[in-house]
A and B are shown apart, each in its own frame.
Chain A
Amino acid sequence: MLQQVEGSKAVAVAVAASRPQVICAYPISPQTHIVEELSRMVKSGELRGCEYVNMESEFAAMSGVIGASAVGARSYTATASQGLLYMVEAVYNASGMGLPIVMTVANRAIGAPINIWNDHGDAMSQRDSGWIQLYATSNQEAADMHVQAFKIAEELSVPVMVCMDGFVLTHATERVDVLEQDAVDAFLPPYSPRQLLDPDDPVSIGSMVGPEAFTEVRYLAHMRQLEALDVIPRVAAEFAAQFGRDSGGLLRSYRTDGAETIVIALGSVFGTLQDVIDAERADGVSVGLLGVTSFRPFPYEATHAAVQGARRVVVIERALAVGAGGIVAGDVRIALTGTEISQRTVIAGLGGRPITTTSLREMLGRAVRDELPALTFLDLDTGVVDRELRRLHPVDRFADVLPQT
């Protein structure tokens, strides 16, 4: 049913319609509205058959859903930023034990300096945690992807992180086709665990593995996640067949046919970029857009195929690997192996700085003229950083290595 709702509420309704049996959570901005709404739904009886546990920390929240999932309950949690960092040890345990937990990450910057606003630094820090990571471009997609996430997670016995931009999506009120119970029931079968802690049929999960088998365990986890490269698009196709719209999948192409320059991005900036691409195309500039929905596993082959024919790609990243530059850029570089396509990386939107059409168009203009440096910080206040660098280094010894803007 079409509703004008806040993104957090649309996600909470989608999670509830997925019939979770245990939710353990600890509130943190900008995730709070999601778990508050789920808590309210459990208390009011709108969400039946579910135990909601308000834990004492994020570490406890993840530990709680690990226990619940291990005894065969469909389990869900949500967090952001420092909260995700605080649960990290348990995050790795969830994937290591192959527990199909679904977690929303309402993407937010990591401190210090403390900052409550949006970027992808939190989820990117869990790049190698063994979780599948899906990034939503809109609130409709965020809601839809949660239902898909349970299906993907349970089929593969791998946990799934659904990443949605904090505040930009979680706190935006938009038109969403809110998922209804009957439709979700038809799409998502009841959870049938692959492994189960059962006193009548005892097994151990997550016991110690020595050098003789640890590599094999990791290898199998890797192969399992590569299977997701088939499962994710298949589940998205099943969803499209039932609900009539494209949500999820591996990649999302927009006007890439014949494009000389292709912008690659994750998350909600995709919509702003669609407007930018339309404006540039109207001005005769040959540009297209590729959204990465599945960051883990990274769809190398599909990315390689999607940018064929382009002369250059520009990767826009809402996170920074200090001392290296882009994070997604490294994966794109691998995907471009064997092509002549040049690559530029743009760090944008850190700590909630708006990514504006004006700045994106100015940046794209430089990109198509081949004037963009390899690494660019969008809207960097050069006056401030130059002053600080000069204060720290009276001799301009970093002049050659500092990124130009």
Chain B
Amino acid sequence: MFQVRIHGRGGQGVVTAAELLSVAAFRAGRHAQAFPSFGSERTGAPVVSFCRIADTPIRSHEPVAAPDALIIQDVSLLGRVDVLDGLVPGGFLLLNTMRSPGELGLGTAAAALPAGHLVTVPASELAMEHVGRPVPNVPLLGAFAALTGLISLESVIAALEERFAGPLARSNTAAAEAAYQLVVKETAHAAAG
């Protein structure tokens, strides 16, 4: 079982991100479960969603306390919400930001993770460029595929095409692909360096 927790703010597609991730996993023949941390349906309020992915049926309905991966859609939550709480040793940390982990005060967290397990992506900027709205959730799913290898970019695209129609599917796919390629390059660079 692989467990993901997504942190962001109302309006950033945090709940949709978990749903899309679960659909991508389902499309790849796996069992998946996505659900929100319920109730704070206010724009700008901190929102949490969860996704579990497994090869066997998922029975538990408790929130994810010890995530294998964290997706932070809004780094303004750092220091306000304990977003790193429970991250397993050797886990993955994906952040939507143009700043470095050091600038964000994540130097200690970065040092504790295996090399290449912490990745930053300018997801809001990629979404603005490709979709025309600064909603970072879809680019982050492309980045998640590249970072963890847990799901393929093709599965993410399949989920996007199921959710969106026509031009919106194409623009979101482009945003996911761009983020995917960025992380592939960043990871290759880190491995070479």
Q: Say how far A25's CB is from chain B's closest CB, in angstroms.
A: 20
Contacts of B173 in A (CB 8 A): none
A172 near B61 (CB under 8 angstroms)? yes
Closest residue of B by beta carbon distance from A270: B59
> Which of A4, A117, A174, A271 has the most chain B CB within a 10 Å cutoff?
A4
Chain B, residues 23-34, CB within 8 Å of chain A (1/0): the string is: 100110001111
The residue in chain A whose Cβ has the minimal distance to the Cβ of B31 is A175
Find out whether the CB atom of A4 lies under 8 angstroms from the CB atom of B23.
yes
Of listed A118, A171, A173, residue having the most chain B CB within 10 A: A173
Let me know if B33 and A167 touch, CB within 8 A.
no
Chain B residues in 8 Å Cβ range of A165: 61
**Given A6-B19, A173-B23, do A269 and B36 touch, yes or no (CB 8 Å)?**
no
CA distance A172 to B15 in the complex (A): 10
Cβ 8 A contact of B65, one of A6, A174, A268, A358: A358
User: B172 interface residue, CB < 8 Å from A?
Assistant: no
Residues of B within 8 A of A355 (CB): 62
Q: Is A269 within 8 A of B32, CB to CB?
A: no
B55: min CB distance to chain A, Å: 12
Q: Assess the A173–B33 pair: CB atoms within 8 A.
A: yes
- Tell me how far the C-beta of A300 lies from the nearest C-beta in chain B, rounded to whole angstroms: 28
- Specify the chain B residue showing the minimal Cβ separation from A356: B62
Chain A residues within an 8 Å CB radius of B65: 356, 358
Asked if residues A173 and B60 are in contact (CB atoms below 8 Å), the reply is: no
Is there an interface contact between B35 and A272, defined as CB atoms closer than 8 Å? no
* Chain A residues positioned under 8 Å from B57 (CB to CB): 175
Contact A174 B33 (CB under 8 A): yes
Are A272 and B59 touching (Cβ within 8 A)?
Answer: yes
Is A30 a contact partner of B59 (Cβ separation < 8 A)?
Answer: no
Q: Flag whether A354 is at the interface (Cβ < 8 A).
A: yes
Q: A171-B38, A172-B34, A173-B33 known; A272 and B22 CB under 8 Å? A: no
A226 → chain B closest CB, angstroms:
32
Of B22, B33, B34, B61, most buried by chain A (CB within 10 Å of CB) is: B61
Bound CA span A169–B36, Å: 11
Task: Point out the residues of chain A lying under 8 angstroms from B19, CB to CB.
Answer: 6, 173
Give A167-181 interface residues, CB cut-off 8 Å to B. Answer: 167-169, 171-175
Q: By the criterion CB–CB under 8 Å, are B35 and A173 in contact?
A: yes
- Whether B63 sits at the interface, judged by CB under 8 Å, is yes
Q: Determine the distance from Cα of A186 to Cα of B59 in the docked complex, in whole angstroms.
A: 30
Binary interface profile of A, 342-374, with partner B (CB < 8 Å = 1, else 0)?
Answer: 000000000010111110000000000000000
User: B60-88: which residues lie under 8 A (CB-CB) from chain A?
Assistant: 60-63, 65
When the two chains form their complex, are residues A4 and B59 in contact, meaning their CB atoms are under 8 A apart? no
- A354 CA to B65 CA in the complex, in Å? 11
Shortest CB-to-CB span from A277 to chain B, Å, is 10
Q: A352, B60: Cβ atoms under 8 Å?
A: no
Within the assembled complex, what's the spacing in Å between the Cα atoms of A165 and B61? 10
Given contacts A168-B61, A352-B38, 13 further A-B contacts (CB under 8 A): A4-B26, A117-B39, A173-B19, A173-B22, A173-B34, A174-B34, A175-B32, A271-B61, A272-B59, A272-B60, A275-B60, A352-B39, A354-B62
- Write 12 A-B pairs (CB below 8 A) sorted by A numbering: A4-B26, A167-B35, A171-B38, A172-B61, A173-B23, A174-B22, A268-B61, A271-B58, A272-B61, A355-B62, A356-B62, A358-B65
